[in-house]
Amino acid sequence: MSLQIYQIPALTDNYIYILHGEGRTAIIDPSESKDVLHFLQQRDWPLDYILNTHHHHDHVGGNNDIKQHKQCLVYASRHDQERIPSCDKGLTEADIITLGKHVIQIIDIPGHTSGHIAYYLPQDAVLFCGDTLFSMGCGRVFEGTMEQLYDSLQKIKALPDDTMVYCAHEYTVKNIEFALTLDPENKDLQEKLSEATAKREMGKSTVPTFLGDEKKYNPFLKATSLEEFKKIRLMKDDF
């Protein structure tokens, strides 16, 4: 059975993801519980996993309530294990989770936080990267270092172009606006801004995005050195 991916908007601009395949279900970064529980109850689905990318409240806020209603395991980075509500097991880059026949690989991507991880499904060509890589942007450095975040983005950049990137926030329009300050005459960026703005005006999501497009247009993936990346990241902090 092919993997089904459902996107649930939450809070102001968060996305929660529900993965379902072969009767198995996982939730990624549940900031809230109400809509998730309603979604599962409507379909009478059990829940196998809650998968957290990092410890920030807008990614783990629904953990406790969901686990009280559903028997499931909560996974996160071993570096974050003590800071993740109801966490059962800490994961490292060597670990693999299975959802039916779907293999989920763990990728350590610190920088935004010290214990940030991504969930990568190579057979399905999908990546859930939390707040490390956004559509046309990347996360701020809160606990880690610029070097860590740059290296983490290089790990993501090494994945195949056809990988679908599921980030955790709807930031695309503002990210493209920033990219245009760096390359104001770029017609492709101008077109992407028009497309993203139109989608948002219709209440549609701009996520996921192809990693190949991110490599081509995202200024943080286009940066060719750590120094260039630092400069752009600091500019974005003040944008």
Tens digits of residue pLDDT in 133-158: 999 999 999 999 999 999 999 999 99
Whether 1 shows a pLDDT value over 80: the answer reads no
Give the count of beta carbons closer than 10 Å to the beta carbon of residue 59.
Answer: 26
Record the tokens describing residue 135, joined without a space. 């559509």
Q: Hey, which residues are catalytic here?
A: 54, 56, 58-59, 112, 131, 169
Rounded to the nearest integer, the mean pLDDT of the chain is 97
CA dist 176 and 182 (Å) reads 10
Q: Quick check: helix, strand or coil at residue 138?
A: strand
With 90 as the cut, is the pLDDT of residue 94 above it?
no
DSSP string covering 58-101, please? Answer: HHHTTHHHHHHHS--EEEEETTTGGGSTT--EEE-TT-EEEETT
The total number of structural domains that make up the chain: 1
Domain that holds residue 62: 4-237
Task: Supply the pLDDT for residue 239.
Answer: 93
Q: Is the pLDDT of residue 132 over 90?
A: yes
Average pLDDT over every residue of 226-231: 98
Percent of the chain exceeding pLDDT 70 equals 100
Q: What percent of the chain has pLDDT over 90?
A: 98
CB atoms within 10 A of CB 136: 29
What average pLDDT does range 114-118 have in this prediction? 97
DSSP 25-54: EEEE--S-SHHHHHHHHHHT----EEE-SS
Q: Average pLDDT, stretch 94-121?
A: 97
Closest CA to 134 of 108, 107, 171: 171
181 token code pair: 């300050």
Q: Are 108 and 40 in contact (CB under 8 A)?
A: no
Q: What is the pLDDT of residues 55-66, one digit of tens each?
A: 999 999 999 999
**How crowded is residue 161: how many other Cβ atoms within 10 Å of its Cβ?**
13
Asked if 11 and 31 count as a contact pair (C-beta separation under 8 A), the reply is yes
Quote the pLDDT of residue 98. Answer: 96
CATH code for the domain in which residue 187 is found = 3.60.15.10
